[in-house]
């Protein structure tokens, strides 16, 4: 869980994390909003269904995959927030990736 | 199709990418800078324009980092594309496939400079996939990007200068970590001193010493020579244990140094070799950062870990060489302009052999001893499963894909590639070179069919 320091970085952008409004500073990413909202998990793993939260915050681990504004499989630590952004936990990441992989033969 | 190719496309807007862009644009080259982040800075100077005034982030970040970003922003004629991901490159034609805020795009460039920086070395310990466990760098990014700090009792574990810097920054931000579980081997300091460079690197050394002092004064306890780290909990982190101790915590931040981010370089098929001192793959480069492909150069930590000061210099050197290759400056002028950069590069690297020795990760960071440790976070494959695959005949990480799905999840082996290779090397008695580097394929990042169709 993470806490804000509003006296240093005012929380000016309101987003919806799993339906709940959260205000975060401009320039924060969707993954930061998830951590500041105190969500217990942003995704479940496709293999064992174990909960995950962002691990690296720098686009490496993909443990921050989320559905953002209706688009699944977004790497939320690379997406900057905008007012009204909807961030939803993601389930079943593997299926989505399999389809994509099949689509371009990777 | 993109129109006439530009002179130079730079991937990454950290210290190397920004310095290269400034040098190249200053010589009149047309330069495009592609960066995944919404603002310049890379990881080390992440969000520096927004956060330089944060009293927790003083020092190089607020001074040199902010100044570099300002110069970068002020440079006329730069085609800077933030929030943009490179997902494919056609090296034959120099065509880059991008995904930006407004959808897909392509771009052509005569020369491509990878300034993709470093990533933290994965620290596969039992329980490291639990919510509440993060990399130390992730916590630092949250501080820079959102001013955020961990809530509740925080424990740091691992080794390296970043952990001490983070401890000080969290303390200044009002959230001092309770404990540092340091994994450096006992006696590492003696060995490191013999690596030399202490005198030439004394300024950097002194800075490190002050940081340690401040963190200790702030009340952070330190356990030295920690072995057998485990994150404990069920569905969420409850605490951390090690050989001879355990403690509760809400957040566990892991760090065992940084390694070059070589995913794109490897997917491009550039030659790489195993760096036995830094225990990582690095691309084979000449003194200008030119790679084994004549269109591609690499600068900054992506070419070998040297820190941001070194990255700024290698970025400038790669830009000079690009200008030379494109016929804008002669060899003599290139060499003349390079002299100052080479001098600064040498002093930035002076302390490196000492740091590499002091903070060499223990063998079980590369190849976890405990067979139940998850090594591939995406597909949840354990060290034991990789060892089993190695015994059955997998001779390297690329073959391991056929036995397991390690490296086939969304991260495409960014996290597990080196661990899988190390486990196979250990099991089969091979060198890392023999086990080989994972060869990822494009797309470098998963894209949707819709994005493909947009092109
Ligand atoms: S948190 Fe690791 S990729 Fe986003």
Q: Which domains does chain B have, with CATH numbers?
A: 6-119+259-329 (3.50.50.60), 122-256 (3.50.50.60), 367-435 (1.10.10.1100)
Domain boundaries, chain A: 11-91
| B6-15, B59-68, B389-398, B424-433: the lowest-pLDDT one | B389-398
Residue B152 CA to ligand 1 centre (angstroms)? 22
* Contact residues, B window 154-213, toward A, CB-based 8 Å cutoff: 173-175
User: How does pLDDT run across B102-147, given as a tens digit for each residue?
Assistant: 888 999 999 999 999 999 999 999 999 999 999 999 999 999 999 9
- Does pLDDT of A98 surpass 50? no
Please report the atom of ligand 1 found closest to the CA of residue A75. Answer: 4
> Does residue A25 line the site of ligand 1, with CB under 6 A?
no
Please report the atom of ligand 1 found closest to the CA of residue A76. Answer: 4
User: How does pLDDT run across B10-21, given as a tens digit for each residue?
Assistant: 999 999 999 999
Secondary structure of chain B in HEC code, one letter for each residue = CCCCCEEEEEECCCHHHHHHHHHHHHCCCCEEEECCCCCCCCCCCCCHHHHCCCHHHCCCHHHHHHHHHHHHHHCCCCEEECCCEEEEEECCCCEEEEEECCEEEEEEEEEEEECCCEEECCCCCCCCCCCCEEEHHHHHHHHHHHCCEECCCEEEEEECHHHHHHHHHHHHCCCCCCEEEECCCCCHHHHHHCCCCCCCCHHHHHHHHHHHHHHHHCCCEEECCCCCCEEEECCCEEEEEECCEEEECCEEEEEECEEECCHHHHHCCCCEEEECCCCEEEECCCCCCECCCCCEEECHHHHCCCCHHHHHHHHHHHHHHHHHHCCCCCHHHHHHHHHHHHHHHHHHCCCHHHHHHHCCCCHHHHCCCCCCCEEECCCCEEHHHHHHHHHHCCCCHHHHHHHCCCCCCCCCCCCCHHHHHHHHHHHHCCCHHHHCCCCCCCCCCCCCHHHHHHC
State which residue of chain A sits closest to B255, comparing Cα positions. Answer: A56
User: How much of chain B exceeds pLDDT 90, in percent?
Assistant: 71
Please report the atom of ligand 1 found closest to the CA of residue A65. Answer: 4
Could you tell me the pLDDT band of residue A103, with boundaries at 50, 70 and 90? Answer: very low
Report the residue of B131, B169, B385 to disrupt the A interface, i.e. the one with the largest count of A CBs within 10 Å.
B131
Higher pLDDT, B252 or B363: B252
Cβ contact, residue pair B47, A27, below 8 Å: yes
Contact list, B378 vs chain A (CB under 8 Å): 45, 62
Q: What is the CATH number of domain A11-91?
A: 3.10.20.740
ipTM at complex level: 0.91
Confidence (pLDDT) at A101: 41
User: How does pLDDT run across B85-95, given as a tens digit for each residue?
Assistant: 999 999 999 99
Higher pLDDT, B84 or B450: B84
- Does pLDDT of A36 surpass 70? yes
User: How does pLDDT run across B360-407, given as a tens digit for each residue?
Assistant: 898 899 999 999 999 999 889 999 999 999 999 888 888 887 788 777
Ligand 1: residue of A61, A73, A80, A90 to mutate (most ligand atoms within 8 A of CB) is A61
Give the pTM: 0.93
């Amino acid at each position: 869980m993470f806490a804000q320091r509003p006296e240093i970085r005012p929380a000016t952008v309101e987003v919806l994390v799993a339906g709940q409004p959260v205000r975060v500073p401009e320039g924060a990413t969707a993954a930061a909003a998830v951590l500041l909202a105190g969500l217990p998990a942003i995704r479940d793993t496709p293999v064992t269904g174990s909960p995950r939260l962002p691990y690296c915050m720098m686009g490496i681990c993909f443990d921050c995959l989320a559905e953002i504004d209706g688009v699944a499989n977004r790497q939320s630590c690379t997406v900057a927030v905008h007012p009204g952004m909807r961030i939803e936990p993601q389930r079943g990441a593997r299926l989505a990736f399999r389809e994509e992989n099949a689509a371009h033969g990777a | 199709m993109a129109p006439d190719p530009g002179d130079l496309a730079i991937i990454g807007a950290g210290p190397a990418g920004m310095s290269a862009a400034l040098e190249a644009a200053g010589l009149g080259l047309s330069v495009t800078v592609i960066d995944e982040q919404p603002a310049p800075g890379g990881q080390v100077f992440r969000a520096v324009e927004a956060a330089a005034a944060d009293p927790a982030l003083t020092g190089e970040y607020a001074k040199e980092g902010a100044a570099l970003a300002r110069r970068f922003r002020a440079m006329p004629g730069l085609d800077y594309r933030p929030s943009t991901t490179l997902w494919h490159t056609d090296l034959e034609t120099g065509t880059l496939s991008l995904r930006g805020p407004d959808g897909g795009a392509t771009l052509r460039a005569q020369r491509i400079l990878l300034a993709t920086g470093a990533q933290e070395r994965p620290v596969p310990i039992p329980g490291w996939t639990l919510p509440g466990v993060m990399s130390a760098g992730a916590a630092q990014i949250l501080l820079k990007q959102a001013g955020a700090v961990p809530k509740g009792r925080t424990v740091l574990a691992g080794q390296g200068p970043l952990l001490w810097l983070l401890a000080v920054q969290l303390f200044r931000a009002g959230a001092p970590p309770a404990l540092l579980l340091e994994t450096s081997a006992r006696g590492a300091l003696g060995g490191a001193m013999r690596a030399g460079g202490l005198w030439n690197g004394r300024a950097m050394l002194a800075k490190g010493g002050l940081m340690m002092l401040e963190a200790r004064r702030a009340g952070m306890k330190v356990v030295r020579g920690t072995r057998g780290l485990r994150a404990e909990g069920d569905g969420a982190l409850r605490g951390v244990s090690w050989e001879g101790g355990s403690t509760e915590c809400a957040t566990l931040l892991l760090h065992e140094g940084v390694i070059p981010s070589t995913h794109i370089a490897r997917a491009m098929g550039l030659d790489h070799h195993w760096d036995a001192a830094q225990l990582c793959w690095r691309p084979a480069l000449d003194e200008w950062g030119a790679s084994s492909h004549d269109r591609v150069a690499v600068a900054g930590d992506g070419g070998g870990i040297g820190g941001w000061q070194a990255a700024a210099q290698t970025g400038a050197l790669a830009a000079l060489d690009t200008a030379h290759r494109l016929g804008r400056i002669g060899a003599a002028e290139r060499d003349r302009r390079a002299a100052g950069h080479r001098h600064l590069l040498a002093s930035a690297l002076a302390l490196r052999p000492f740091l590499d020795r002091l903070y060499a990760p223990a063998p079980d960071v590369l190849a976890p001893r405990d067979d139940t440790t998850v090594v591939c976070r995406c597909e949840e494959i354990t060290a034991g499963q990789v060892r089993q695959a190695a015994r059955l005949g997998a001779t390297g990480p690329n073959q391991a894909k056929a036995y397991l799905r390690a490296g086939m999840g969304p991260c495409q082996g960014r996290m597990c590639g080196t661990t899988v290779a190390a486990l196979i090397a250990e099991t089969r008695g091979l060198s890392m070179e023999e086990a080989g580097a994972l060869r990822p394929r494009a797309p470098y990042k998963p894209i949707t069919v819709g994005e493909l169709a947009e092109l």
